[in-house]
Structure 1
Amino acid sequence: MLLEHVLLSVHVLGGIVFVGGSAVATSLFPRYAPALDGEGRSRDVAVALHRITGGYAVFGLIVPLVGMIMAGVQGRMDEIWIIVSMVLTAAAALLLATQIYPRQRQALADPGDGDSARLRQLSMVSGFYNLAWAIVVVLMIVRPGSGAGA
């Protein structure tokens, strides 16, 4: 029982701090990324948000790892809400690693290359990333098919 409480605490705190931090950073980055229009832009803020996106994403790996350990300890790995959450987590990680982080790096390296359209696309991809995490949170609360209810 104590182990489950520790795992749940680490899982929830990691989700709030690391996943939440990367979600906020990915959402804010396009607003501050350098662009030709220059209005409301700050390269320093964008660089900080890019670092947060990458750093918190790495530390955020503890969230699904601890979640899977906890689900295994509880014997819940076959429940649909766990499986769907793992698929969505993998999709979010894939978006972050292959789309968001590289596009942020590109926007910092070359701010004048199709800036507004590129930043709108980055905003859209970041929105999908955040939507995936929002659905995972709802699944963690509702736990459909768990037999235990909420």
Structure 2
Amino acid sequence: MTKFLLTVHILAAILAVGPVAVAASMFPPTVRRALAAPGDAQALASVRLLYRICRVYAAVGVAVPVFGFATASNMHILGDTWLIVSIVLTTLAAGALIALVLPRQDALLTELDAAAAGAQSEPVATVDARRTVRLAMFTGMFNLLWAAVTVLMILRPGSTTGG
């Protein structure tokens, strides 16, 4: 059973967290391209797609800690320090995504949609590009937290696998 749970945990991490990490990283430069070409429907469609990928796969990503806890419980390692640190880092990564990345993506997309519809009196070109830089920073934090969790999962201090 442990091998099954671990396999599902790893597959969920690859298939759910990976797309969020990539799409979230692509989002800020794609917004900047959309801002540079206000009439470009393809650029706006790309921003919408990246946001949707982030939202959907973030929801699917809930499976990662669920199967992680099941695996750790089955292995009787819930009290191991490296696992507790991984849980804390995972919580911080989820918090960054939920509180810092997704709301900023939504706000930028809403602004781009309004500008494209002509509902915004302010020209699109004057949208503060620093917001995309901050979003990129928060996305980088999210990705670094997941990278740290991945390293801990691979190295597993105290592991008997020789890692």
Asked if 1:79 corresponds to 2:77, the answer is no
Please state how far the C-alpha of 1:62 moved relative to its aligned partner.
0.4
How far residue 146 of structure 1 moved from its aligned partner, in angstroms, is: 4.5
Distance in 1 of aligned mates of 2:70 and 2:155: 20
1:45-70 superposed Cα distances (whole Å, 9 cap, x missing partner): 11111011010011010001100111
Query: What is the aligned counterpart of 2:22 among 8, 17, 24?
Result: 24
Q: CA RMSD in A?
A: 1.9
* Contact persistence 1:26–1:49 (CA under 8 A): yes
Paired residues for 1:1-150 under 5 Å: 3-33=1-31, 35-38=34-37, 42-111=43-112, 112=124, 114-146=127-159, 149-150=162-163
Looking at structure 2, the residues matched to 19 and 68 of structure 1 have their Cα atoms a distance apart, in angstroms, of 16
The whole-number CA distance in structure 1 between the counterparts of 2:140 and 2:98 is: 15
Distance 2:46 2:36 in 1: 16
Q: Which amino acid aligns with 1:77?
A: L
Q: Is the Cα contact below 8 Å between 1:32 and 1:46 reproduced in 2?
A: yes
1:15, 1:63 within 8 Å by CA — same for their partners in 2? yes
Q: What one-letter code is carried by the residue in structure 2 that aligns with 1:127?
A: G
- Structure 1 gaps of 5+ residues are none
TM-score in terms of structure 1 length: 0.91
2:25 alignment partner, SS class: helix
For 1:38 and 1:78, the matched residues in 2 are separated by 53
Structure 2: runs of 5+ lacking an equivalent:
113-123
Between structure 1 and structure 2, the one with the greater Rg is: 2
Distance 2:136 2:57 in 1: 18
2:64 maps to amino acid: V
Aligned partners of 1:76 and 1:82 also within 8 Å: yes
Indicate if the aligned counterparts of 1:53 and 1:101 stay in contact, CA closer than 8 A. Answer: yes
Conserved in 2, the CA contact under 8 Å of 1:79 and 1:145? no
Shift in Å, 1:36: 3.4
Secondary structure, aligned partner of 2:36: coil
Rounded to whole Å, the distance in 2 between the matches of 1:80 and 1:44 is 44
